[in-house]
């Protein structure tokens, strides 16, 4: 996200106008029963699926995509969430190859 968009996100989230701007706060615990059961979601950096589980709970009929670069975790996500479309990849704002370190 560019700095203008980041500032817009912070302002909209603080002022409560996030929905008006089409911006959702990043705290996934903010899901509520008011969300449509057919909403489609993307979980970038899905890790072990904590957010994806909530997404599927609140939008069971939606089409959901999970992104995870680590092969072992991507494989676990596919087994745990067979209806989700899991992509084993990293994302960037430009086409490139990069190295990253896994800590843990």
Q: Model-level pTM? A: 0.66
Hey, is 74 helix, strand or coil?
helix
Work out the burial of residue 41: count CB atoms within 10 Å of its CB; fewer than 13 is exposed, 13-18 middle, 19 or more buried.
Answer: buried
Confidence at residue 33, expressed as pLDDT on a 0 to 100 scale: 56
Question: For the residues 4-26, what does the mean pLDDT come to?
Answer: 43
Place of tokens 């745990």: 80
The Cα 94–Cα 97 span in angstroms is 9
Hey, is 97 helix, strand or coil?
coil
What DSSP string runs through 6-30?
HHHHHHHHHHT-TTTTT---S-GGG
Question: Which class in CATH covers the domain with range 38-92?
Answer: alpha beta
49-63 pLDDT, tens digit each: 999 999 998 899 999
């Amino acid at each position: 996200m560019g700095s203008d968009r980041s500032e817009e996100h912070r302002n909209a989230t603080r002022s409560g106008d996030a929905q008006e701007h089409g911006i959702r706060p990043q705290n996934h615990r903010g899901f509520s029963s008011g969300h449509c059961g057919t909403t489609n979601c993307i979980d970038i950096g899905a890790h072990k699926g904590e957010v994806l589980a909530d997404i599927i709970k609140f939008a069971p009929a939606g089409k959901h995509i999970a992104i995870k670069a680590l092969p072992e975790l991507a494989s676990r996500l596919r087994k745990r969430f067979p209806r989700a479309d899991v992509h084993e990849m990293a994302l960037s704002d430009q086409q490139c190859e990069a190295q990253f370190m896994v800590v843990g």
